[in-house]
Amino acid sequence: MLDDLKLHYEIERFNTRYAAALDAQRLTEWADMFTDDAFYLVTSRENADRGLPVGLIYCEGRAMIRDRAFALHNTAMFAPRYLRHIIGNLSVERGQEIRATANYAVFQVLFDRPDATVHQLGVYRDVFLRTDQGLKLRERRCVYDNLLVPNALCLPV
Amino acid sequence: MLDDLKLHYEIERFNTRYAAALDAQRLTEWADMFTDDAFYLVTSRENADRGLPVGLIYCEGRAMIRDRAFALHNTAMFAPRYLRHIIGNLSVERGQEIRATANYAVFQVLFDRPDATVHQLGVYRDVFLRTDQGLKLRERRCVYDNLLVPNALCLPV
Amino acid sequence: MLDDLKLHYEIERFNTRYAAALDAQRLTEWADMFTDDAFYLVTSRENADRGLPVGLIYCEGRAMIRDRAFALHNTAMFAPRYLRHIIGNLSVERGQEIRATANYAVFQVLFDRPDATVHQLGVYRDVFLRTDQGLKLRERRCVYDNLLVPNALCLPV
């Protein structure tokens, strides 16, 4: 059980670093948390439930992940905002692979309205790989509950 | 301290499974997380502060909990929605009984409006029992802050 | 790693007690979680990013923290509300000092509207000290994302 606890703690710390990188728009640091051949998907709960492989964001490989992040970053400049992740309900399974899920709430403050609202709500479905540089994401599927994501802007989450 | 930490971790995992069962509407799995003689209450902070034993949901025994869940499930079909729990601020006390509290935020996405909102916000006040099938809830009092729960629909939380 | 995990757990419990004290308006208990010479600041992300030392709340020393809490408590009576913290994404660093950060969402229910909304969203930037009475805050900077805090009421968070 202690080994499970330690792994749980490691992944919790990973998710905290991941969220901090995105919230501070440190996008290179964010992209480096994926393996070279990583799969990154942001898709709706409806599509995920039906097994549809489409998504708001669909990236195969870290190069594509990095490109996407910076393309969005440049776009996002036109509607600047603060983002803040709260990640909870972490669950980790150790088998041949390290699989994990966690619920996330991303709140946003747009610069033209004073209050904070829910930007996106969902679950991470992950596969982690232990590498020479520590844990990396080989797969992260972000499945969101919102029917429409506010502002139709597909920021990484 | 390590024993406290392990128990904390066990109950955190329990709450994560509990939330996942409700969010995916796996209501049989949810009801099986209670003991046969469990007490389950959903009540307002105002009533709880005054020591009033009334509630939106009041169940004595797992049979009643299961019945209530499925009755609500059928009703809920008329206003389908996605739910998502974020559980945090867990506190565990070991005495003769295992007592715990945790804050919860339940977000919802209704199918006729695109954004996510806070469905219910509150605190779990729990008594856990260690059984042959692992930890079970002997008592869960869900004390919510909202003055009215949106849509007047008393879903289990 | 086990020592890191234990310290992480200790600070998580500290933050849970801290939030519970504020949510229940136990302000003396709250103030006692700071050292005598503690620094407590509530400031906007914009000011923090620019290194400006101003804030909605600015307290040097526990006496000032306690005074401020009760002054606000009396004011708050005119607009009663329920508050509920969800604290997540804890990160702890052990060096010469114990430094930590954690994201917080404070939800509120005002007594003249039924639903729960986000009161304040931000990050705690902390320095902890181990004393004879356990861990205490020597410094807590609450950096909030909201551009305006609803109701312009500067409650401690």
Q: What ipTM, to 2 d.p.?
A: 0.92
Mode of pairing for the β-strands spanning B134-144 and B117-131: antiparallel
Can you give the pLDDT at residue A68? 86
At A54, the pLDDT band (50, 70, 90 cuts) reads confident
B63 vs chain A: nearest CA distance in angstroms?
A: 27
A36 vs chain B: nearest CA distance in angstroms?
A: 31
Quote the tokens at residue C105: 């969402």
pLDDT tops 80 at residue A49: yes
**Crossing angle between the packed helical segments C2-23 and B2-23, to the nearest 10 degrees:** 60
Helices and strands, counts by H and E, chain A: 4, 6
Can you give the pLDDT at residue B114? 76
* Short-list C86, A99, C3, CA closest to B5: C3
Touching check for B91 and chain C: CB below 8 Å? Answer: yes
Q: CA distances (Å), B72 to each of B62, B79, C119, in order? A: 15, 11, 31
Q: CA distances (Å), C1 to each of A2, A5, B8, B13, C8, in order? A: 11, 11, 18, 21, 11
Least confident among A66-70, B113-117, C13-17:
B113-117
**Nearest 10 degrees: Cα torsion C64, C89, A72, A35:** 150
Q: Which SS3 state, helix, strand or coil, does residue B16 take?
A: helix
**Nearest 10 degrees: Cα torsion A75, A79, A82, A85:** -60
Strand partners, C128: C98, C137
Q: Phi, psi (5° rounding) for residue A149?
A: -90, 125
Which residues in B lie closer than 8 A to residue A100 (C-beta atoms)?
none
Is residue B154 packed enough to be buried (19+ CB in 10 Å), middle (13-18) or exposed (0-12)?
middle
Touching check for C116 and chain B: CB below 8 Å? Answer: yes
Touching check for C148 and chain A: CB below 8 Å? Answer: yes
Contacts of B95 (CB under 8 A, 6+ apart): none
Can you give the pLDDT at residue A58? 93
At B95, the pLDDT band (50, 70, 90 cuts) reads confident
Which residues in C lie closer than 8 A to residue B101 (C-beta atoms)?
20
**Crossing angle between the packed helical segments B2-23 and A2-23, to the nearest 10 degrees:** 60
Alpha helices in C32-146 (DSSP H): 45-49, 62-76
Can you give the pLDDT at residue A37? 98
* Short-list C125, C132, C79, C100, CA closest to C12: C100
Count other C-beta atoms under 10 Å from residue A27's C-beta. Answer: 18
At A140, the pLDDT band (50, 70, 90 cuts) reads very high
Can you give the pLDDT at residue A107? 95
At A114, the pLDDT band (50, 70, 90 cuts) reads confident
Quote the tokens at residue A91: 């669950």
Q: Which regions of chain C are under pLDDT 50? A: none
Can you give the pLDDT at residue B150? 63
At B104, the pLDDT band (50, 70, 90 cuts) reads very high
C115/B86 CB distance under 8 A: no
Touching check for A45 and chain B: CB below 8 Å? Answer: yes
Contacts of C96 (CB under 8 A, 6+ apart): none
Touching check for B88 and chain A: CB below 8 Å? Answer: yes
Q: Is the separation of the CB atoms in C115 and B148 below 8 Å? A: yes
pLDDT tops 90 at residue B152: no
Quote the tokens at residue C128: 């902890």
Q: CA distances (Å), A16 to each of B27, B32, B62, B95, C90, in order? A: 31, 32, 37, 32, 7
pLDDT average, residue stretch A76-96: 87
d(CA B142, CA A100): 27
Task: Provide the percentage of residues in chain B whose pLDDT is more than 90.
Answer: 70
Quote the tokens at residue B43: 């009540």
Q: CA distances (Å), C144 to each of A51, A84, A145, C124, in order? A: 39, 10, 26, 9
Residue B141 corresponds to which amino acid?
R
Count other C-beta atoms under 10 Å from residue B152's C-beta. Answer: 7
C85/B90 CB distance under 8 A: no
* Least CB–CB distance from A5: residue in B6, B84, B116: B6
Chains that touch B (3 or more CB pairs under 8 A): A, C
Q: Which residues of C12-24 are buried (b: 16+ CB within 10 A; e: fewer)?
A: bbbbbbbbbbbbe
Structure pTM?
A: 0.94
d(CA C111, CA C116): 10
pLDDT average, residue stretch B116-124: 93
**Which residues 46-85 of B have a C-beta within 8 angstroms of C?**
none
Which residues in A lie closer than 8 A to residue C2 (C-beta atoms)?
6
pLDDT tops 70 at residue B76: no
Chain mean pLDDT for chain B: 91
At B79, the pLDDT band (50, 70, 90 cuts) reads low
Touching check for A86 and chain C: CB below 8 Å? Answer: yes
Touching check for C121 and chain B: CB below 8 Å? Answer: no
Can you give the pLDDT at residue B11? 98
The label of the residue with tokens 């950096």 reads: C143
Which residues in B lie closer than 8 A to residue A123 (C-beta atoms)?
84
Instruction: Output A110 or B140, whichever has higher pLDDT.
Output: B140
d(CA A11, CA C79): 41
* Least CB–CB distance from C145: residue in A17, A20, A82: A82
At A153, the pLDDT band (50, 70, 90 cuts) reads low
C59 vs chain B: nearest CA distance in angstroms?
A: 26
Is residue A12 packed enough to be buried (19+ CB in 10 Å), middle (13-18) or exposed (0-12)?
buried
> What would the pLDDT profile of B4-57 be if each residue is shown by its tens digit?
999 999 999 999 999 999 999 999 999 999 999 999 999 999 999 999 888 889
Strand partners, C57: C42
Task: Provide the percentage of residues in chain B whose pLDDT is more than 70.
Answer: 93
d(CA A27, CA A157): 11
Which residues in A lie closer than 8 A to residue B86 (C-beta atoms)?
86, 88-89, 103, 105
C141 vs chain B: nearest CA distance in angstroms?
A: 20
Quote the tokens at residue B23: 């969010």
